[in-house]
Each structure stands twice: as structure tokens, then as C-alpha cells.
Amino acid sequence: MIAPSLGPARSLRFAAVAAIGVLTLMTPTLAAQDGDAPHPAHIHAGTCAELGDVVFPLKDVAVPDGESSGPESAHPVKISETEVAASLQDIIDGGYAINVHLSADEIGTYIACGDIGGVVHENEDGRTSLVIGLGELNESGHTGVAWFGADGDVTEVAIMLIEPDSMGDASADAAQEASPDDAAATDSTAVTIQGFAFNPPAIEIPAGGSVTWTNQDNVPHTATGLDRDALQSGTIPFGESFTQTFDTAGTYEYFCEFHPNMEGSIVVQ
């Protein structure tokens, strides 16, 4: 059962019940680190393409406060948790979107957004939940997910935001260094799976070129074509990669079988 108050235990619970295995949240007290200001977030009327008025304000999205441990290369996740006074179904039926802003001082700059809709998951206790993707806006480098947990006429909204660019660049560099054939590397395109998104989501490659997907999330993903005969990676665990060569020109749309909100496309010329 979802508890009525926020806290570390509740964070751990919704991380466990969320079907996509989102990252564990350690504390509800949020603060900026390394000069990165908290990001205001709201539920707006309309869609990301046409945002309307703010319907429900959400708590700022920021790196959890506390002492960091482990390697400096670890990539922090910015989070927020808010209880919204509306049922999950009312939020879905309302035609809303979650929008995240750069900072309170630059409220007009949007960095990530997601339309609220998708497959509602029923947990073992009969409660329902929904996970949506948050796509990058204005070349911010931020992507993530938002989790909605139903509790009667109240819905818990949890946002997890990550800035994947630096790790994506490192993955691409590593793939380049690992290739013994510079000519082959030229025709190889790296796609980083991080923040529950394919980065970049749309790519173009020449016929005979290859694509390498590297999973930087701590949950498994797939790269599965709408035509599974054309692309099926199988499960890609955290830290591992899958590479496929595309010899035939055309457009290949694909998604993650574990998280269908994750979508990408490949144009082979």
C-alpha cells in the first residue's frame, strides 16, 4: 500500500513497484549541487507542443542533498516528489503535460517535457501507476521519466531527470578507441541508452554502416524494430552494447520492449 506521507521508505517502495525499475531515491530533501540551480516543474494543460496554464505545481527537481560517495564519474540523478490532489485517471483524462524549467530565474527556458499518457500498470496490491518519458527541450541535454502512483483521490508524482551528454560522449569515445579499423569506425554511429531514452533518438547512416547501442541505465533495455526481423537486439544489460550493420536503405523505427515510451529511428541512405 502506498503510504500517505513522503519519505525515504516511500521512495524505495515506488522504485520497487515501478515496472521499469527506476533508480532508488535516497532522500526527499533536495538542493542544488555544483552550482546547478533546482529546476521548477509543473503539470500544464495541453501538450508539450502547445503548453497551456499551470494546473498543478510540482516540487523543484534537483540533486538530493547529502554527502556524495563513490567515484566522481558517477552520474547524479535529479529528483522531486509531489503529492497532487487529483486522481491518476483525472490527470490522464485532463490532457496534461509535465514541463521542467531551467531555473526560477530563467523560468521561460524549458529543458524537458512529457505528455501524460500511456499504459497504466496495475500493481499486485491493486494500485495503479503510470510511467512517462521526459524528452529533451532546447538542447538542454536533460531527459528522464516521471512516475505517477495512484492513491485514491491523490496521486504521487515523482520526476527523475538526468543530464546524459557527458557520459554519452565518453561512451562514444570508448567505442571509437575500441575499434581497430578507423574506416569502419567512421561508418559506426553510437547511441547511448540513458535516462530511459535513446540518445540521439533519430540518426542517419550510410548503407553498410552500423549502429552501436550502449546501455548506461542500471536497468535492462532493448532496441527492437517495429519490424522485428529487421532489428532485434535482445536484452542489453547495464554497461553492455549491441551492434548491428544495416545494408538495406530505408527507415527503421524502433523502441524498447521493456519501456515502450522509448522510441528511436534510423534512416539508412
Terminal C-alpha separation, the chain:
52
Around Cβ 179, how many Cβ atoms within 10 Å? 14
pLDDT tier, 139 (very low <50, low <70, confident <90, very high otherwise): confident
At 172, list the grid cell: 562514444
CATH number of 165-268: 2.60.40.420
Give residues with Cβ within 8 angstroms of 83, minimum separation 6. 6, 154, 155, 156, 157
d(CA 195, CA 144): 5
pTM surpassing 0.95?
no
For the chain, which residues make up each domain, given as ranges?
8-162, 165-268
Give residues with Cβ within 8 angstroms of 97, minimum separation 6. 43, 44, 46, 47, 48, 51, 113, 114, 115, 116
d(CA 193, CA 214): 6
Q: Tens of pLDDT along 43-58? A: 999 999 889 999 999 9
Mean pLDDT across the chain: 80
The residue ranking higher by pLDDT, 238 or 29, is: 238
Q: Tens of pLDDT along 153-199? A: 999 999 998 865 444 444 444 444 444 444 444 478 999 999 999 99
Q: Tens of pLDDT along 69-124? A: 888 767 778 899 999 999 999 999 999 999 999 998 888 899 999 999 988 888 77
Around Cβ 125, how many Cβ atoms within 10 Å? 8
At 261, list the grid cell: 515510451
